Structure 1
Amino acid sequence: MATKKTTTKNSVKKKVVPKKISGKTASKKTTSKKTTSKKTTSKKISKKLVISSKKVLKVYKGTNIEVTALNKVNIDIYEGEMVAIMGPSGCGKTTLLNCLSGLDSIDSGTIKLQDMELEKLTDDKLSEFRAKNMGFVFQSFNLLPVLTTVENVELPLLVSGISPKEARKQSEAKLDDVGLLEWATHLPGELSGGQRQRVTLARALVNEPAIVWADEPTGNLDSTNELEIMD
Protein backbone atom coordinates (compact mmCIF):
# COMPACT_ATOMS: atom_id res chain seq x y z
CA MET A 1 0.00 0.00 0.00
CA ALA A 2 1.12 3.55 -0.56
CA THR A 3 1.06 6.60 1.65
CA LYS A 4 2.65 9.98 1.65
CA LYS A 5 3.65 9.95 5.27
CA THR A 6 4.85 7.25 7.57
CA THR A 7 6.28 7.02 11.04
CA THR A 8 8.81 4.49 12.20
CA LYS A 9 8.70 5.13 15.95
CA ASN A 10 7.06 1.83 16.77
CA SER A 11 8.02 -0.15 13.68
CA VAL A 12 10.74 -2.15 15.42
CA LYS A 13 10.54 -5.07 13.03
CA LYS A 14 10.52 -3.01 9.87
CA LYS A 15 13.44 -1.98 7.74
CA VAL A 16 13.48 1.39 6.04
CA VAL A 17 15.01 1.33 2.58
CA PRO A 18 15.58 4.70 0.89
CA LYS A 19 14.53 4.92 -2.72
CA LYS A 20 14.77 7.72 -5.25
CA ILE A 21 12.07 8.44 -7.79
CA SER A 22 13.44 8.70 -11.27
CA GLY A 23 12.36 12.01 -12.73
CA LYS A 24 11.81 15.56 -11.52
CA THR A 25 8.82 17.57 -10.41
CA ALA A 26 8.31 21.30 -10.59
CA SER A 27 6.62 23.93 -8.48
CA LYS A 28 4.29 26.57 -9.92
CA LYS A 29 7.32 28.78 -10.52
CA THR A 30 8.62 26.03 -12.82
CA THR A 31 11.66 25.60 -10.59
CA SER A 32 12.69 21.96 -10.79
CA LYS A 33 12.73 20.14 -7.48
CA LYS A 34 13.16 16.49 -6.64
CA THR A 35 10.89 14.33 -4.59
CA THR A 36 12.20 11.33 -2.73
CA SER A 37 10.52 8.29 -1.32
CA LYS A 38 11.14 6.04 1.64
CA LYS A 39 10.07 2.42 1.74
CA THR A 40 9.18 0.58 4.89
CA THR A 41 9.25 -3.15 4.29
CA SER A 42 8.77 -6.23 6.40
CA LYS A 43 11.39 -8.98 6.43
CA LYS A 44 9.19 -11.50 4.60
CA ILE A 45 7.94 -9.27 1.82
CA SER A 46 6.53 -10.73 -1.37
CA LYS A 47 7.92 -9.60 -4.69
CA LYS A 48 4.55 -9.05 -6.37
CA LEU A 49 4.59 -5.72 -8.19
CA VAL A 50 1.43 -3.79 -7.28
CA ILE A 51 2.08 -0.24 -8.51
CA SER A 52 4.31 0.70 -11.41
CA SER A 53 4.82 3.91 -13.37
CA LYS A 54 7.08 4.38 -16.39
CA LYS A 55 8.09 7.81 -17.73
CA VAL A 56 4.95 9.50 -16.39
CA LEU A 57 4.58 13.08 -17.59
CA LYS A 58 1.99 15.53 -16.25
CA VAL A 59 1.86 19.15 -17.45
CA TYR A 60 -0.58 21.81 -16.26
CA LYS A 61 -1.23 24.42 -18.93
CA GLY A 62 -2.37 27.91 -18.04
CA THR A 63 -2.98 30.99 -20.14
CA ASN A 64 0.58 32.25 -19.98
CA ILE A 65 2.49 29.41 -18.35
CA GLU A 66 3.02 25.67 -18.42
CA VAL A 67 3.98 23.82 -15.25
CA THR A 68 5.57 20.40 -15.50
CA ALA A 69 4.35 18.73 -12.32
CA LEU A 70 5.71 15.25 -13.11
CA ASN A 71 8.65 14.83 -15.46
CA LYS A 72 9.05 11.22 -16.65
CA VAL A 73 8.61 9.65 -13.21
CA ASN A 74 9.41 5.96 -12.70
CA ILE A 75 8.41 4.11 -9.54
CA ASP A 76 7.80 0.48 -8.56
CA ILE A 77 6.00 -0.50 -5.35
CA TYR A 78 5.63 -4.11 -4.23
CA GLU A 79 2.99 -5.83 -2.14
CA GLY A 80 3.47 -5.23 1.58
CA GLU A 81 5.53 -2.06 1.21
CA MET A 82 4.73 1.27 2.84
CA VAL A 83 6.15 4.10 0.74
CA ALA A 84 6.41 7.75 1.75
CA ILE A 85 6.78 10.39 -0.96
CA MET A 86 8.59 13.40 0.49
CA GLY A 87 9.48 16.81 -0.86
CA PRO A 88 8.84 20.55 -0.46
CA SER A 89 5.41 22.09 -0.91
CA GLY A 90 4.43 22.41 -4.56
CA CYS A 91 6.85 19.78 -5.86
CA GLY A 92 4.14 17.41 -7.14
CA LYS A 93 3.50 14.91 -4.33
CA THR A 94 -0.30 15.16 -4.46
CA THR A 95 -0.24 15.20 -8.26
CA LEU A 96 1.76 11.97 -8.25
CA LEU A 97 -0.71 10.34 -5.84
CA ASN A 98 -3.69 11.45 -7.95
CA CYS A 99 -2.14 10.19 -11.18
CA LEU A 100 -1.03 6.84 -9.76
CA SER A 101 -4.52 6.21 -8.38
CA GLY A 102 -6.29 7.21 -11.58
CA LEU A 103 -7.98 10.28 -10.10
CA ASP A 104 -6.10 12.46 -12.57
CA SER A 105 -4.98 11.78 -16.13
CA ILE A 106 -1.41 11.87 -17.41
CA ASP A 107 -0.01 13.36 -20.61
CA SER A 108 2.30 10.46 -21.45
CA GLY A 109 3.83 7.34 -19.94
CA THR A 110 2.17 4.30 -18.40
CA ILE A 111 0.75 3.44 -14.98
CA LYS A 112 -0.09 -0.12 -13.96
CA LEU A 113 -1.91 -1.24 -10.83
CA GLN A 114 -1.94 -5.00 -10.26
CA ASP A 115 -0.97 -5.52 -13.93
CA MET A 116 -3.86 -3.35 -15.15
CA GLU A 117 -2.89 -0.37 -17.31
CA LEU A 118 -5.02 2.55 -16.13
CA GLU A 119 -5.05 4.39 -19.44
CA LYS A 120 -6.81 1.45 -21.10
CA LEU A 121 -9.68 1.25 -18.58
CA THR A 122 -13.03 2.93 -19.19
CA ASP A 123 -14.27 5.39 -16.57
CA ASP A 124 -16.78 2.81 -15.29
CA LYS A 125 -14.16 0.07 -15.02
CA LEU A 126 -11.72 2.40 -13.31
CA SER A 127 -14.38 3.51 -10.79
CA GLU A 128 -15.26 -0.11 -10.06
CA PHE A 129 -11.59 -1.02 -9.62
CA ARG A 130 -11.04 1.89 -7.22
CA ALA A 131 -14.11 1.01 -5.15
CA LYS A 132 -13.01 -2.60 -4.69
CA ASN A 133 -9.25 -2.26 -4.42
CA MET A 134 -8.36 1.22 -3.14
CA GLY A 135 -8.82 3.35 -0.06
CA PHE A 136 -8.25 7.12 -0.03
CA VAL A 137 -7.25 9.49 2.76
CA PHE A 138 -7.59 13.02 1.40
CA GLN A 139 -5.83 16.01 2.90
CA SER A 140 -9.12 17.95 2.87
CA PHE A 141 -11.16 14.96 4.20
CA ASN A 142 -13.74 15.00 1.34
CA LEU A 143 -16.55 13.91 3.65
CA LEU A 144 -20.08 14.52 2.35
CA PRO A 145 -21.56 17.15 4.70
CA VAL A 146 -25.17 15.91 4.40
CA LEU A 147 -24.31 12.34 5.43
CA THR A 148 -23.66 11.14 8.96
CA THR A 149 -20.30 9.77 10.02
CA VAL A 150 -21.31 6.14 9.53
CA GLU A 151 -22.99 6.91 6.20
CA ASN A 152 -19.75 8.45 4.92
CA VAL A 153 -17.75 5.41 6.02
CA GLU A 154 -20.08 2.89 4.39
CA LEU A 155 -20.06 4.55 0.95
CA PRO A 156 -17.20 2.43 -0.53
CA LEU A 157 -18.96 -0.75 0.59
CA LEU A 158 -22.28 0.25 -0.97
CA VAL A 159 -20.55 1.17 -4.24
CA SER A 160 -18.88 -2.25 -4.20
CA GLY A 161 -22.26 -3.99 -3.98
CA ILE A 162 -22.28 -4.88 -0.28
CA SER A 163 -25.78 -5.05 1.22
CA PRO A 164 -26.82 -2.01 3.30
CA LYS A 165 -27.13 -4.14 6.44
CA GLU A 166 -23.65 -5.62 6.10
CA ALA A 167 -22.18 -2.26 5.07
CA ARG A 168 -23.55 -0.64 8.21
CA LYS A 169 -22.19 -3.45 10.40
CA GLN A 170 -18.68 -3.21 8.93
CA SER A 171 -18.70 0.60 9.04
CA GLU A 172 -19.66 0.70 12.71
CA ALA A 173 -16.90 -1.80 13.48
CA LYS A 174 -14.34 0.36 11.68
CA LEU A 175 -15.54 3.48 13.50
CA ASP A 176 -15.09 1.58 16.74
CA ASP A 177 -11.50 0.81 15.68
CA VAL A 178 -10.73 4.53 15.39
CA GLY A 179 -12.62 5.41 18.58
CA LEU A 180 -15.58 7.17 16.99
CA LEU A 181 -18.48 4.73 17.27
CA GLU A 182 -20.37 7.05 19.63
CA TRP A 183 -20.17 9.75 16.92
CA ALA A 184 -21.68 7.51 14.22
CA THR A 185 -24.87 9.57 13.82
CA HIS A 186 -23.17 12.98 13.85
CA LEU A 187 -22.60 15.06 10.72
CA PRO A 188 -19.03 15.96 9.68
CA GLY A 189 -19.64 19.60 10.60
CA GLU A 190 -20.18 18.54 14.21
CA LEU A 191 -16.74 16.91 14.44
CA SER A 192 -13.32 18.37 15.16
CA GLY A 193 -10.56 18.29 12.55
CA GLY A 194 -8.91 15.31 14.21
CA GLN A 195 -12.21 13.42 14.39
CA ARG A 196 -12.91 14.06 10.71
CA GLN A 197 -9.44 12.78 9.90
CA ARG A 198 -10.21 9.54 11.73
CA VAL A 199 -13.53 9.21 9.89
CA THR A 200 -11.61 9.58 6.63
CA LEU A 201 -9.21 6.85 7.73
CA ALA A 202 -12.10 4.56 8.67
CA ARG A 203 -13.67 5.10 5.25
CA ALA A 204 -10.36 4.36 3.52
CA LEU A 205 -9.87 1.07 5.38
CA VAL A 206 -13.44 -0.23 5.67
CA ASN A 207 -13.32 -2.33 2.48
CA GLU A 208 -9.91 -3.84 3.37
CA PRO A 209 -8.32 -2.40 0.20
CA ALA A 210 -5.22 -3.76 -1.49
CA ILE A 211 -3.89 -0.20 -1.89
CA VAL A 212 -4.29 2.79 0.43
CA TRP A 213 -3.46 6.25 -0.90
CA ALA A 214 -2.93 8.74 1.90
CA ASP A 215 -2.29 12.47 1.53
CA GLU A 216 -1.01 13.67 4.94
CA PRO A 217 -2.93 10.86 6.74
CA THR A 218 -2.07 11.95 10.28
CA GLY A 219 -1.71 15.70 9.76
CA ASN A 220 -4.66 16.57 12.03
CA LEU A 221 -4.06 13.94 14.72
CA ASP A 222 -2.37 14.24 18.09
CA SER A 223 0.73 12.16 18.73
CA THR A 224 -1.14 9.37 20.55
CA ASN A 225 -3.73 8.86 17.80
CA GLU A 226 -1.02 9.20 15.14
CA LEU A 227 0.92 6.25 16.54
CA GLU A 228 -2.24 4.15 16.91
CA ILE A 229 -3.39 4.84 13.34
CA MET A 230 0.01 4.18 11.75
CA ASP A 231 0.37 0.95 13.74
Structure 2
Amino acid sequence: MTPRPPVLRVPIVDASRSVLDELLDRAPGHELADATGRGGPVPATRVSLVATREALVALFVASSEPPLAVAHRGRGGRVFEDECVELFLERPSEPGRYLEVVVNPAAALYAAEVDNPDGSRASWRVSPVLPRGLEVRVSGAPAGEPSAYSSWRCRLEVPWSEAGGAPSAGEVRRANAFRIARGLATHHLALSPTLRRDPPDFHVPSLFARLRFTEVL
Protein backbone atom coordinates (compact mmCIF):
# COMPACT_ATOMS: atom_id res chain seq x y z
CA MET A 1 0.00 0.00 0.00
CA THR A 2 1.38 3.41 -0.98
CA PRO A 3 1.91 5.58 2.12
CA ARG A 4 0.16 8.91 2.38
CA PRO A 5 2.56 11.85 1.88
CA PRO A 6 3.22 13.84 5.05
CA VAL A 7 1.51 17.18 5.69
CA LEU A 8 3.95 19.68 7.21
CA ARG A 9 3.13 22.98 8.86
CA VAL A 10 5.15 25.90 7.44
CA PRO A 11 4.85 29.24 9.27
CA ILE A 12 4.52 32.48 7.32
CA VAL A 13 6.56 35.07 9.20
CA ASP A 14 7.36 38.75 8.88
CA ALA A 15 10.95 38.98 10.07
CA SER A 16 14.32 40.52 9.31
CA ARG A 17 17.02 38.33 7.79
CA SER A 18 18.80 37.83 11.12
CA VAL A 19 15.57 36.91 12.92
CA LEU A 20 14.59 34.64 10.04
CA ASP A 21 17.87 32.75 10.37
CA GLU A 22 17.24 32.32 14.10
CA LEU A 23 13.75 31.00 13.36
CA LEU A 24 15.19 28.52 10.87
CA ASP A 25 17.71 27.27 13.40
CA ARG A 26 14.93 26.79 15.97
CA ALA A 27 12.35 25.39 13.57
CA PRO A 28 11.63 21.66 13.82
CA GLY A 29 13.89 19.82 11.43
CA HIS A 30 12.18 17.21 9.28
CA GLU A 31 14.34 14.13 8.87
CA LEU A 32 14.92 12.77 5.36
CA ALA A 33 14.57 9.01 4.92
CA ASP A 34 15.51 6.45 2.28
CA ALA A 35 13.73 7.66 -0.87
CA THR A 36 13.23 4.14 -2.21
CA GLY A 37 11.34 2.86 0.82
CA ARG A 38 13.83 0.06 1.44
CA GLY A 39 14.71 1.46 4.85
CA GLY A 40 18.04 0.94 6.52
CA PRO A 41 20.54 3.48 7.87
CA VAL A 42 21.18 6.67 5.89
CA PRO A 43 23.36 9.72 6.64
CA ALA A 44 21.59 12.11 9.01
CA THR A 45 19.85 14.85 7.01
CA ARG A 46 17.13 17.26 8.00
CA VAL A 47 15.38 20.23 6.44
CA SER A 48 13.63 23.15 8.12
CA LEU A 49 11.12 25.33 6.26
CA VAL A 50 9.89 28.87 6.91
CA ALA A 51 7.94 31.15 4.57
CA THR A 52 7.82 34.92 4.21
CA ARG A 53 5.57 37.00 1.97
CA GLU A 54 8.40 37.03 -0.55
CA ALA A 55 10.00 33.58 -0.44
CA LEU A 56 10.20 30.03 0.86
CA VAL A 57 13.34 29.52 2.92
CA ALA A 58 14.78 26.03 3.42
CA LEU A 59 17.72 25.02 5.58
CA PHE A 60 19.31 21.62 4.95
CA VAL A 61 21.71 20.20 7.56
CA ALA A 62 23.59 17.08 6.47
CA SER A 63 26.17 14.71 7.93
CA SER A 64 28.60 13.30 5.37
CA GLU A 65 31.05 10.47 4.77
CA PRO A 66 33.95 12.04 2.83
CA PRO A 67 35.47 12.03 0.35
CA LEU A 68 32.41 13.55 -1.33
CA ALA A 69 31.74 13.72 -5.06
CA VAL A 70 31.93 17.47 -5.79
CA ALA A 71 32.90 17.88 -9.44
CA HIS A 72 30.82 20.89 -10.48
CA ARG A 73 31.27 24.60 -9.83
CA GLY A 74 29.22 27.64 -10.77
CA ARG A 75 25.73 27.55 -12.25
CA GLY A 76 23.97 25.42 -14.82
CA GLY A 77 26.06 22.24 -14.67
CA ARG A 78 24.94 18.70 -13.86
CA VAL A 79 25.09 19.30 -10.12
CA PHE A 80 22.70 16.38 -9.51
CA GLU A 81 25.62 14.07 -10.33
CA ASP A 82 27.40 15.29 -7.17
CA GLU A 83 26.72 15.09 -3.46
CA CYS A 84 23.75 17.46 -3.36
CA VAL A 85 20.49 18.60 -1.80
CA GLU A 86 17.37 19.30 -3.85
CA LEU A 87 14.15 21.26 -3.36
CA PHE A 88 11.08 20.81 -5.59
CA LEU A 89 8.22 23.36 -5.45
CA GLU A 90 5.03 22.71 -7.40
CA ARG A 91 3.09 25.60 -8.94
CA PRO A 92 -0.28 25.79 -7.17
CA SER A 93 -2.50 26.04 -10.26
CA GLU A 94 -0.51 23.62 -12.47
CA PRO A 95 -0.36 20.08 -11.04
CA GLY A 96 2.81 18.29 -12.07
CA ARG A 97 4.70 21.47 -12.95
CA TYR A 98 7.40 22.36 -10.47
CA LEU A 99 10.66 24.20 -9.91
CA GLU A 100 13.67 22.00 -9.19
CA VAL A 101 16.68 23.49 -7.37
CA VAL A 102 19.87 21.46 -6.78
CA VAL A 103 22.95 22.60 -4.81
CA ASN A 104 26.22 20.84 -3.97
CA PRO A 105 28.70 21.52 -1.11
CA ALA A 106 30.65 23.94 -3.34
CA ALA A 107 27.45 26.02 -3.79
CA ALA A 108 27.17 25.02 -7.45
CA LEU A 109 23.59 25.39 -8.65
CA TYR A 110 21.33 23.65 -11.13
CA ALA A 111 17.70 24.70 -11.55
CA ALA A 112 14.95 23.70 -13.95
CA GLU A 113 11.24 24.04 -14.63
CA VAL A 114 9.81 20.53 -14.87
CA ASP A 115 6.46 19.76 -16.52
CA ASN A 116 5.67 16.23 -15.36
CA PRO A 117 1.91 15.68 -14.81
CA ASP A 118 2.23 11.94 -15.49
CA GLY A 119 5.17 11.41 -13.12
CA SER A 120 7.09 9.83 -15.98
CA ARG A 121 10.45 10.60 -17.54
CA ALA A 122 9.05 9.26 -20.81
CA SER A 123 6.70 12.24 -21.17
CA TRP A 124 8.17 14.98 -18.99
CA ARG A 125 9.63 18.25 -20.22
CA VAL A 126 12.62 19.78 -18.45
CA SER A 127 13.73 23.37 -19.11
CA PRO A 128 16.88 24.57 -17.29
CA VAL A 129 16.41 28.02 -15.75
CA LEU A 130 18.21 30.47 -13.46
CA PRO A 131 15.48 31.73 -11.11
CA ARG A 132 15.66 35.45 -10.47
CA GLY A 133 16.31 36.36 -6.86
CA LEU A 134 17.22 32.83 -5.76
CA GLU A 135 19.68 32.97 -2.85
CA VAL A 136 22.05 30.13 -1.95
CA ARG A 137 24.33 29.95 1.08
CA VAL A 138 26.50 26.91 1.82
CA SER A 139 28.92 26.21 4.67
CA GLY A 140 30.68 23.08 5.84
CA ALA A 141 33.16 21.59 8.28
CA PRO A 142 36.03 21.15 8.55
CA ALA A 143 36.99 24.37 6.76
CA GLY A 144 38.63 23.85 3.40
CA GLU A 145 37.86 21.73 0.35
CA PRO A 146 34.11 20.89 0.09
CA SER A 147 34.85 17.29 -0.87
CA ALA A 148 36.30 16.81 2.64
CA TYR A 149 33.25 18.10 4.54
CA SER A 150 32.02 15.76 7.26
CA SER A 151 28.95 17.97 7.62
CA TRP A 152 27.44 20.79 5.59
CA ARG A 153 24.52 23.20 5.54
CA CYS A 154 22.64 24.71 2.62
CA ARG A 155 20.23 27.64 2.98
CA LEU A 156 17.95 28.24 0.00
CA GLU A 157 15.66 31.23 -0.41
CA VAL A 158 13.30 30.77 -3.36
CA PRO A 159 11.19 33.82 -4.34
CA TRP A 160 7.49 33.07 -4.66
CA SER A 161 7.57 35.00 -7.93
CA GLU A 162 9.51 32.03 -9.36
CA ALA A 163 7.12 29.40 -7.96
CA GLY A 164 3.58 30.49 -8.78
CA GLY A 165 3.10 33.32 -6.30
CA ALA A 166 2.90 33.59 -2.52
CA PRO A 167 0.59 31.22 -0.61
CA SER A 168 -2.28 32.34 1.58
CA ALA A 169 -2.62 31.28 5.21
CA GLY A 170 -4.23 27.84 5.27
CA GLU A 171 -3.23 27.00 1.70
CA VAL A 172 -1.68 23.60 0.99
CA ARG A 173 0.93 23.10 -1.72
CA ARG A 174 3.00 20.15 -2.89
CA ALA A 175 6.77 20.20 -2.47
CA ASN A 176 9.57 17.82 -1.63
CA ALA A 177 13.14 17.89 -0.36
CA PHE A 178 15.85 15.43 -1.28
CA ARG A 179 19.50 14.61 -0.87
CA ILE A 180 21.86 12.43 -2.85
CA ALA A 181 24.65 11.51 -0.44
CA ARG A 182 27.70 10.63 -2.51
CA GLY A 183 30.56 9.85 -0.16
CA LEU A 184 31.90 6.47 0.90
CA ALA A 185 28.52 5.13 -0.23
CA THR A 186 25.62 6.53 -2.26
CA HIS A 187 22.21 7.10 -0.66
CA HIS A 188 19.04 8.69 -2.06
CA LEU A 189 17.03 10.45 0.65
CA ALA A 190 13.64 12.19 0.61
CA LEU A 191 11.37 14.17 2.89
CA SER A 192 8.48 12.21 1.35
CA PRO A 193 9.85 8.99 -0.18
CA THR A 194 8.97 8.44 -3.84
CA LEU A 195 9.46 4.63 -3.52
CA ARG A 196 11.05 4.22 -6.94
CA ARG A 197 14.04 1.91 -7.24
CA ASP A 198 16.43 0.63 -9.87
CA PRO A 199 17.12 3.45 -10.43
CA PRO A 200 15.85 5.74 -7.67
CA ASP A 201 13.75 8.61 -9.02
CA PHE A 202 12.74 11.80 -7.20
CA HIS A 203 10.33 13.00 -9.89
CA VAL A 204 7.02 11.63 -8.57
CA PRO A 205 4.75 14.66 -7.92
CA SER A 206 1.87 12.57 -6.54
CA LEU A 207 4.08 11.56 -3.61
CA PHE A 208 5.47 15.01 -2.82
CA ALA A 209 4.94 16.24 0.74
CA ARG A 210 2.12 18.67 1.42
CA LEU A 211 3.05 22.04 2.93
CA ARG A 212 0.31 23.73 4.93
CA PHE A 213 1.08 27.42 5.34
CA THR A 214 0.03 29.03 8.61
CA GLU A 215 0.31 32.69 9.52
CA VAL A 216 2.24 33.60 12.66
CA LEU A 217 1.13 36.96 14.08
Give the TM-score range, shorter chain.
Answer: under 0.3
Please state which structure has a larger fraction of its residues in strand: 2
TM-score (norm 2): 0.27
Greater RCO, 1 or 2 (C-alpha within 8 Å, sep 6+): 2
Please state which structure has a larger fraction of its residues in helix: 1
TM-score (norm 1): 0.26
